Chains A and B, each alone.
Chain A
């Protein structure tokens, strides 16, 4: 059972949609079966201590579905509940889903929208991140794909960013952001000269979907529309491959090369220019089609390494 809003899927903005609306628009109609749904009321045992309201699904929806006729497991984070942050139940649901993926060798699609771990459930949340990564790697090691979709308000930060880094494919829109430390944390710790968290153009240049795509931190770049995410997900599901030691070695090498290649650059625009992209300053304003054309042949790719 889903609760897709009245907005027809073509007009829905992924960024603006709820987790349920995204999920409903992504999968084949009528195929989603929720596991540990809201009616089971598996809510956070911690939030009440802080006088915070719970959400029946604890901001994490998990279940089975089909995309393009292919059976998958799927998880979606609600970015507007507690900033999409991981808590005990929230994390456990994703851990369980990934373990099921390993047992059943089903591919997993994860709709990320998270600021990291909930402060109120810090220990449980951090443990959950670790368990999720282990389960994710376990699923990939038997050949299941784990595809991450990033394009929501909270982005994919903190522990979520680390989990995303373990996925087999990442799909991002321009609104999506991927990182570990958030802008405010960087500014607080390193000073405003290093990173001005009020400079939103800088935030998106540094952590946004376009930049990630250009430096191999995301594999597919899409419009802010469910149809675009769906098309990219179908492409990603077809890729196959499994995680082994050779993948890790290749990725390590890629990251070392990348660091060496761009270590002198101090801003994303310089990185893009170093990639050989002409008129790099215009990148943030380009529409999807023009952006993909500008990126083609220049962007860093992680394909051999994922």
Chain B
């Protein structure tokens, strides 16, 4: 009967249909495809846990192996397009429509599939945005998730890489949806209960751990002198004067250099305890020296990082850990924290235009957004004040009386003037605009909008956009730090000098920094081995980083 219980009834029917493939909740891997034929119906909205780190890889492979005659026209809602199977389902006609967030590893192929019309794109979202829509208009009917282990009742242990799973399960399970979890093992007793069993309908025991992408590991050996110089400017020219205690670092070598300069250069400046004390951050190995030197009070993590598990478990005063001793991450909460509880975001980008919009998109590669636009945006809903926030707000809008003047989150874009393959960072027109035209997108995929950006930092200096009045000043401030790129060489030298007098552009010399002093000896760790030693042997880097 329909009435008001159609969704729960439909779920019960699917569970019954799948009954012959399951013993209790447990489905054997060799009948996985047949099982999926029973629990997924054509046109379903399906979430495959494609997070940006952990992947439900066994379930993804099985989904890509279903019979398109029986399971087709699916609407995929997932955070990450990471594995080849995530796109195979579109190639094979199993899936038709897509809403997602991040596609870094598949950025080339997804661009080709979109251009060829094989994917009907709903939208590219930020992580938090998509997770939010899971409870409003993109609720999954079936969620295929990844956990470390489960007991027979379906209680799940998701461990350090808990990431977005609790949110996915809550949105699905409490709205008539069906949750299938792949686990390495079904055990008597899970080390801790991350997801209660009555939210989970089926388990698949794969016998091996789910796939995890090591995204946040950067080898200190690859950090250049230029990146050290930029990091020095950021610490002295931004963290120090604004007194930034609560922050998020995007991934990249520039931020890795900042992390490694805190105990050394930051220490020389007397900043310990005054900056970088509270973090929304994945467990970056490059933060180990600062943590060991006592700089960090607390870190909340979006996810984990391969090789960092033992180190994190040994530092429960800093990280969030469960009764089993290991990390508990939560992407949804950490993204929210990065939005509302942090005073600064700093991250790299590929292109910036003369207004200050930035993007990582090129016509042949679509990496999506991930979390950066949330981290890199000014949340108007914030109400609590901090010194950094109020100071930034005052710089942006000195005219408004203080009690009526909201603060501003510091949103910093950082990078060398010439990036990979000597491509200039500063461009007249973002390739994202060209991509939007080609694919008929309503919005160009902008990572950080100009009205959110507060500062841009290159090796030539810091441009404070909060202090700029008018588009011309903004443009010249950006040209003034654009180095020897075409846009930089076309600067108005007089105007740029004027901006420098007003402190809108700060050169290294203005901060008392000699580029010749920016050498790698300032890094608290200069190699992966150094990081391992700094962690007392607790950090175990992935094999690809070994040279011993």
Residues of A within 8 A of B (CB): 5-8, 11, 13, 15-16, 174-175, 198-201, 204, 208, 284-285
Q: How far is the CA of A175 from the CA of B529 in the complex (A)?
A: 10
Cβ–Cβ contact B519 & A201, under 8 A = no
Q: Is B544 an interface residue (CB 8 A)?
A: yes
Residues of B within 8 A of A (CB): 221, 516, 519-521, 526-527, 537, 543-548
Choose among A16, A175, A285 the residue that contacts B537 (Cβ–Cβ < 8 A). A285
Cβ–Cβ contact B526 & A13, under 8 A = yes
Q: How far is the CA of A5 from the CA of B543 in the complex (A)?
A: 31
Cβ–Cβ contact A7 & B546, under 8 A = no
Please list 27 pairs of residues, one from A and one from B, whose beta carbons are closer than 8 Å in the complex, sorted by A's number. A6-B519, A6-B521, A7-B519, A7-B521, A8-B521, A13-B526, A13-B527, A15-B527, A15-B547, A16-B221, A16-B520, A16-B526, A16-B527, A174-B548, A175-B547, A175-B548, A198-B543, A198-B544, A200-B544, A200-B545, A200-B546, A200-B547, A201-B546, A204-B546, A208-B548, A284-B548, A285-B537
Residues of B within 8 A of A199 (CB): 543
**What distance in Å separates the Cβ of B219 from its nearest Cβ neighbour in chain A?**
12
Give me 4 other A-B pairs in contact (C-beta within 8 A), A15-B527, A201-B546 excluded. A6-B521, A16-B527, A204-B546, A204-B548
Task: Tell me the number of A-to-B contacts counted with CB atoms below 8 Å.
Answer: 36
Residues of B within 8 A of A6 (CB): 516, 519, 521
**What distance in Å separates the Cβ of A174 from its nearest Cβ neighbour in chain B?**
5
Which partner residue on chain B sits nearest A173 by CB separation? B548
Residues of A within 8 A of B520 (CB): 7, 16
Q: How far is the CA of A7 from the CA of B228 in the complex (A)?
A: 14
Residues of B within 8 A of A285 (CB): 537
Q: How far is the CA of A34 from the CA of B547 in the complex (A)?
A: 32
**What distance in Å separates the Cβ of A247 from its nearest Cβ neighbour in chain B?**
32
- Give the residue among A5, A13, A199, A284 with the most B Cβ atoms within 10 A: A13
Q: How far is the CA of A201 from the CA of B541 in the complex (A)?
A: 11
Residues of B within 8 A of A16 (CB): 221, 520, 526-527
**What distance in Å separates the Cβ of B222 from its nearest Cβ neighbour in chain A?**
11
**What distance in Å separates the Cβ of B522 from its nearest Cβ neighbour in chain A?**
10
**What distance in Å separates the Cβ of A34 from its nearest Cβ neighbour in chain B?**
24
**What distance in Å separates the Cβ of B528 from its nearest Cβ neighbour in chain A?**
10
Q: How far is the CA of A228 from the CA of B547 in the complex (A)?
A: 19
Q: How far is the CA of A94 from the CA of B290 in the complex (A)?
A: 45
Q: How far is the CA of A199 from the CA of B547 in the complex (A)?
A: 11
Which partner residue on chain A sits nearest B540 by CB separation? A285
Q: How far is the CA of A76 from the CA of B385 in the complex (A)?
A: 59
Residues of A within 8 A of B516 (CB): 6
Cβ–Cβ contact B543 & A200, under 8 A = yes
Choose among A11, A174, A198, A208 the residue that contacts B521 (Cβ–Cβ < 8 A). A11
Cβ–Cβ contact B544 & A204, under 8 A = no
